[in-house]
Structure 1
Amino acid sequence: MESKRPYLVEDLSCPVCQDIFKSPVMLTCSHSVCKECLTQFWESKGVRECPLCRKRSSNDPPLLNLILKNVCEAFLHERSSETLLCSRHNRKLELYCLEDNEPVCLVCRDSEKHQQHNFSPISEIAAGLREKVMAKLQAQKNNMKDIQDFKLACNKMAEHITRQVLLAEQNMKEEFEKLHQFLREEQAARIAALRQEEEMQARMMNLKIEDAITDILEFTERIRDTEQDLASDDAFVVLIYGEFS
């Protein structure tokens, strides 16, 4: 049976619970989510952000997407009112043939094809199938919740790691700055000691140089006096320097 619906189920499904929207609200990023799903997501996440694009939402309560709500309600009403008919007899399919594993109408039950076959009300078969499918669907929802919880835990761990790295980086910078400051102070102290040693050595050398100059002046004066004496009268030389004979 060909559907006349203008929408796909995916277009009318909440991105969080994957069911047809119930009371859809529109976020500032234009994405829509079930109001209950959004509330639970925000409570578990601790941040008001879109479950799809992670964009932060405003603090104002999100508005009801009335157009989408009406479309979803019309879709559900249309789907619930549809009745599949027997392709051979154009009658409602009320029974299920247990031998051929197919739904049939009352006329099919009495036909030659289904003679001596066993039947069950199709409502009972559908109820059993719904129960099995719902159990699998619930398991999938539980798995999805586990995955969401795991993802949330991973996000928290990633944030924790980032904070720890930033803290370690800050501590490392502070320690290196202390080390650099110590080295600068040590360098300044050693240079000051070197300058002091240099000044002391320079004063000592200046004193020695002054003593040497004094000695040179004294020797120069003695040499000049001796030369003058030697240039004097012979008798004066003998008288003055006779002790050297």
Structure 2
Amino acid sequence: MVKIKILIVEDELVIAEDLKDTLEDLGYEVCGIAISAREALAMIEEKSPDLALLDIQIKGGKDGIALGAEINEQYHLPFIILTSHADRQTIDRAKTVNPYGYLVKPFNEKEILAGIELALANFAKEQAKRENKENSAEFVLRESLFIRTNGMLVKLRLTDIIYLEADANYTQVYTKDKKYVIRSTLKELEGKLDSNRFVRVHKSFLINLEEINGIQPETVHVAGKEIPISRNQYSWLLQQIKML
């Protein structure tokens, strides 16, 4: 049975290790402990956790709530906020990043288990609703993608798309002869495209596998452009190709 992978973001290492022991006793896998937002984002990229536990007070310039906002923008990852504070101001601020749970220290094993299982169940339900909605929408028609540009829906053949690049709340779509800018996040577009053809090799790039010209440990060459690739995606990609 595959274990749920959990990332702990907590700068009090004694607390983090105690939480790690509790999670492992409950049958989860702790894939890493980060003490800052910067470390956490690197571990998300490398470890691909199923859930993150974010303490509000962490080292670095961003606290756990700011980290949650960045996770929402860049990744498809549920998280639970951990804190010693239960005041209205802190709770209201935490609500703005839509966490899947909120645990107030000190918490016990039963509270941790309930919080994690509810978060994962709610995330799964949300995903199912989103997939049903996307499947019913006529956004993608077999081998074509329709995008809105200059007030008109323009049809693009999937075979003509080389790669897509995130640009905040927009996405730049590069074809063989033109670039389009769409008011949609890369994460939203990723869910609408064929995962057998388009793969997210980096938080900011989604590429057409058929357009790859070369592969290096840190970059993929696509149509003359070097696109960064994360370590775990590089390993996955090597398993998919045939080498002589």
What TM bracket, shorter-length normalisation?
under 0.3
TM-score (norm 1): 0.23
Name the structure, 1 or 2, with higher relative contact order (CA <8 Å, separation 6+).
2
Give the structure with the higher percent strand: 2
Larger radius of gyration: 1
Structure with greater helix share of residues: 1
